[in-house]
Amino acid sequence: MHKKTIAFFPEAAYGPALNSVGIAQAVERLGHRAVFLSDPGFLDVYRGYGFEAHPVNLSAPMAPEQMAKFWEDFINGHIPNFRKSAYDQIDNYVLDCWSAIVESAGYAQADLPDVLARVKPDLICVDNVILFPAIKQFGVPWVRIVSCSENEIEDPAIPPHLSGCASDDWAGHARYRDHFNATIAPLHAQFNAFLAEHGEAPYPLGQFFEASPFLNLLLYPDAVKFRRLHPLAPGRFQYLEGCVRQEKPYELTPFRANEDAPLVYLSFGSLGAGDVPLLKRLIAALGQFPCRALVNVGAYLDQYGELPANVQIASWFPQPSVIPLVDVVLHHGGNNSFTECLYFGKPAIIMPFAWDGHDNATRLQETGYGFKLNRADWTEEALFADLRACLESAAMHDRLRLTSQAMQSQAGPDKAAGLLDAMLQPGGQG
């Protein structure tokens, strides 16, 4: 087989980045060359897994440590907004995020033509929420990866992306769409002007990206898929049933208390870890519950003093190696955590703070795989009730076991790699 080059261009966030790592690992097992196009701040992430990575500026050039601090400050500055509903975040966090995303497209367009000319990919995989014209115009097939909630691909019969609405809350759907479109309209007009400048047709209000005409890979599991008015074409839209990367094994160390108790894993991701007061309150609560707990505190390890005897903290955990060991996961609703819990058959409690965490929290609860807990007004009693239900519900455990078996049988990264490989074979779309 002639080795082909597949370029991966994920969003500068750990969820999309690590999903692409999982697919790239499988692609290389098939004998192809996986290369990453990367925000400069994420180059070391991909190189740490042994991949070649090329910088593409998504903002004004700055040192990697400055970039990390920029996004840390951006998230931390919005912590008060994270206690608001998804609807009430449209005017602040959501608008600010889309403003940064639109700006990133302009910076990327300046760099991408030269980077693509050097890398010479035979196929490009993009995991983002916005169109980069240079990708579409390079002259090779491109694949869209949807690592966030499935409703990133819109449909009039499902909740709007980022809304956190229940499936049957039709009034809520309309209310969110109307407010989002009105708020985003000036920015959307700016983006359409950018598209016109680079030879692309304008998008309808509210849309910033399109499905690939070649192939679209969705990480969403079949067990929680929405019922669409317009079903996605099965050939062009492939569900991966999660996309769990390979990590080194994790060895548990003894706890100072509750050594035989159930194990809870708490993580709000690298950026969500900035809400130190919330994590401290949760740690104190878990200290009163008959469990053991592993807590991801991100870059804020030095802000924690003495811990309950049944709690251990770290700046980072190899999550795909930890979740199989635990009994319950408490997380922020990021799509990696959401799908990994289902993949390993673990019940979850989601305390969403932003983006598709709202969608995943609602979907988790309405499909019976766990609970949504509001971070603005939660109580220890509510947390303990949800934990007990996660530990004791035989029906939930049976449902999770069957879903886990189905997801693992699909081997998402290998399925994705096989689909990409087929595109590159003679007679394929590549």
Longest dimension (CA), the chain: 63
Q: How far apart are CA 219 and CA 164, in angstroms?
A: 18
Instruction: Check pLDDT > 90 for residue 422.
Output: yes
User: Residue 259: what pLDDT?
Assistant: 93
Mean pLDDT score across all residues of the chain: 93
CB 330 within 8 A of CB 265: yes
Tokens, residue 26: 């499988």
CA angle 331, 147, 27 (to 5 degrees): 120
What pLDDT is stored for residue 429 in this prediction? 64
What's the sign of the alpha-carbon dihedral 186, 183, 155, 137? positive
> pTM for the full model?
0.92
CB distance 16 to 39 below 8 Å = no
Asked whether residue 31 carries a pLDDT value surpassing 90, the answer given is yes
Distance in angstroms (rounded) separating the CA atoms of residues 375 and 372: 9
Amino acid at 139: G
Sign of the dihedral defined by the CA atoms of residues 138, 105, 38, 337, in that order: negative
Q: Would you state the pLDDT for residue 290?
A: 98
Domain annotation for the chain: domains and CATH numbers = 5-243+411-424 (3.40.50.2000), 263-408 (3.40.50.2000)
- Looking at residue 61, what is its pLDDT? 75
74-88, 163-177, 190-204, 306-320, range with the lowest pLDDT: 74-88
Q: What is the pLDDT of residues 373-399, one digit of tens each?
A: 999 899 999 999 999 999 999 999 999
Rg from Cα positions in the chain: 21
End-to-end alpha-carbon separation of the chain, Å? 15
Q: Select the more confidently predicted residue: 240 or 185.
A: 185
pLDDT of residue 270: 77
* Cβ-contact 405, 342 below 8 angstroms: no
Percent of the chain at pLDDT > 70 equals: 97
> Could you report the per-residue pLDDT of 105-120, keeping only the tens digit for each?
999 999 999 999 999 9
pLDDT for position 20: 93
**Residue 188: partners with Cβ closer than 8 Å, 6 or more residues away:** 203, 205, 206, 208
pLDDT at 1 over 80: no
